[in-house]
A and B are shown apart, each in its own frame.
Chain A
Amino acid sequence: MIPAGFPARSGSVAVAGALAAGLVLLALVGPLATPHDPLAVDLTRRFEAPGFAHLLGTDHLGRDILSRLIAGARTTLGSVLAVLALVLGLGLAVGGLSGMLGGRIDAVLMRLCDVFLTVPTFVLALFMIGALGTGLVNVVAAIVLSHWAWYARIVRGLVLELKTRDYVLAARIAGAPPLAIFAEHVLPGVVPPLAALATLDIGHMALHVAGLSFLGLGVQPPTPEWGVMINDARAFFWTRPLLVVWPGLAIALAVLAFNRLGDALRDRLDPTLVAGRGL
């Protein structure tokens, strides 16, 4: 029986979902759909106000802001998705192994996690960029290295908890080998909370990418990226505040949309919550 009385928030989920889908679509086809060349400099049309020619106006080099935002979606979201895929992959592999095998392997892997967990993202990023130079790939690597251990810990915790379930014991009685137990009984219980967490983290990671680029460590100008755009616009903040507002708004919307979606996923994805236990 479904306990009644959930607040009806499906409306905001639909909006968030549409927004997130729109952003992902932009990231996929964006460069083909920009009204202008996002890199085309036209110093005769600097700081143009929003109008028909340039819907959101132009920046200090006369580049079309809308085009740069659309092109930037690919850079920002693309790198975030790369980060997520790597973090999830590493987290599932290490956390899964650790939780399923236990013993000495578990101890070694978890101490390794502890080492990575002690280093803050920005410090690690600064170190890597100092050693390897600036660039998007290094930023992605830095974020992955400072986040995977967190996911591995969470996966391990979920695996350990799920392993004690009676239905895992029943699966062993039914002759299921460890790999089948992991794939059929443990993984499906790990994925929903992890997916929700990852979705919630998309916004967080987008902020990291944009933040590191803003500091001039990641994507280098003139490549369009939201953090870089804010950095570029900083100098003109007092005279042309809109230049900061547009990329800032894009980041805020992306963060909000993916957060809301993550919340909804967490509530919905687990069929055990839906089927209910009756009274």
Chain B
Amino acid sequence: MTALLAASGLGKSYPGKTYPDTSHPGAGRRGERPVLSGINLSLGEGECVALLGRSGSGKSTLARLLLGLEEADAGTVRFRGAALPGLDRAGRRAFHAAVQMVLQDPLSAVNPRHSVGRILAEPLRHLTDLPSPARDARAGELLAMVGLDPASAGRLPGQLSGGQVQRVGLARALATRPALVVLDEAVSNLDAPRQVEILDRLAHLRRAHGTAFLLITHDVRLARRFADRVVVLSEGRIVDASPCRPGLALSHPAARELVDAVLPASPRMAREEAR
């Protein structure tokens, strides 16, 4: 079976200094800063994978490469078997409709001048052949799907709360009925009640539509709760991987560090740990 989205030997460098540049005088002065190297990752239809890593590990860059927003220096991304750079116009359109992303900061990810309805219609206008009335209907449907009042289609993002705008961002990503939604730290910075709510909502969508998800996060708890398996990224390389059930079995030091960083569930556990 061909994978929905597969990366093989993916690498990416940015021009500029490496951090901490002062510790290697001259080392990164004019050189390339490698962000990703040798990434092999395959996502199946309907599969839910968590990409786990610290900030600066290259998670967001990988997401951009997978979405074709940037070009890799090495390796290829294949969408249902076809290499991304080789796609023709129609192929690219089908790819963008099938692979969507929710960005981290909800408020800055929507144009403050556009109404919620217009925000939701944008992918429909560019990626589908729906006529205008059908787009409006779909926007209403999407709002209901993420638990927002369909009447909010006429409002501006500034008139909604942060949590509501995050749901608008999710609704936009779901507009074209994608096969895969990438969540780039889109859940990590919410408070716990909102995290639980949005994860439950996503789990429901997954059951109802068979949508695949790539959850990018630094929080092991979110990965464990939501994903089928986790892939650990550290310093631009995949260093560990494990299915989530029956339990995470991670051994790489970078992975252990992330597991150990989870804060205690209650104060008593905190004291016991201290002892």
Contact = CB atoms under 8 A, between A and B. Distances in A.
Touching chains A and B, CB distance < 8 Å: yes
A169 interface: yes
Contacts of A167: 108-112
Contacts of A7: none
Nearest to B118: A184
A166 B100 CA distance: 15
Interface string A155-169: 000000000011101
A173 B67 contact: yes
B127 interface: yes
B158 interface: yes
B69 A172 contact: yes
Contacts of A184: 111, 114, 122
Interface of A: 165-167, 169-177, 180, 184-185, 188-189, 271-272, 275-278
A169 B69 CA distance: 8
Interface of B: 67, 69, 93, 96-97, 100-101, 103, 105, 107-114, 122-123, 126-127, 156-159, 161, 169, 172-173, 175
Contacts of B108: 165-167
Contact of A173 (B100, B107, B113, B161): B100
Contacts of A180: 126
B126 A177 contact: yes
11 contacts: A167-B112, A172-B69, A173-B123, A174-B96, A174-B123, A177-B126, A184-B114, A275-B112, A275-B159, A278-B158, A278-B161
A176 B126 contact: yes
Nearest to B156: A275
A224 B158 CA distance: 51
Contacts of B105: 166
Is chain A's binding surface mostly helix, strand, loop or mixed?
Answer: helix
Contacts of A176: 122, 126
Given A173-B67, A174-B126, A166 B103 contact: yes
Interface centre among A175, A180, A185, A275 (most CB of B within 10 A): A175
A177 B161 CA distance: 30
A188 to B, nearest CB: 5
B233 to A, nearest CB: 21
Contacts of A272: 112-113, 158
B93 A188 contact: no
Interface centre among A166, A173, A185, A278 (most CB of B within 10 A): A173
Interface centre among B157, B158, B161 (most CB of A within 10 A): B158
B109 A170 contact: yes
A169 to B, nearest CB: 7
A170 B110 contact: yes
A177 to B, nearest CB: 7
Nearest to B95: A175
Contact of B172 (A174, A275, A278): A174
Given A166-B108, A167-B109, A176-B122, A276 B158 contact: yes
B126 A173 contact: no
A277 B101 contact: no
A171 B119 CA distance: 9
A196 to B, nearest CB: 16
A133 to B, nearest CB: 47
Contacts of B123: 173-175
Given A173-B67, A189-B113, 20 more contacts: A165-B108, A167-B109, A167-B111, A167-B112, A169-B69, A170-B110, A170-B172, A171-B122, A173-B69, A173-B96, A173-B100, A173-B173, A174-B96, A174-B122, A174-B127, A175-B97, A175-B123, A184-B114, A271-B156, A278-B158
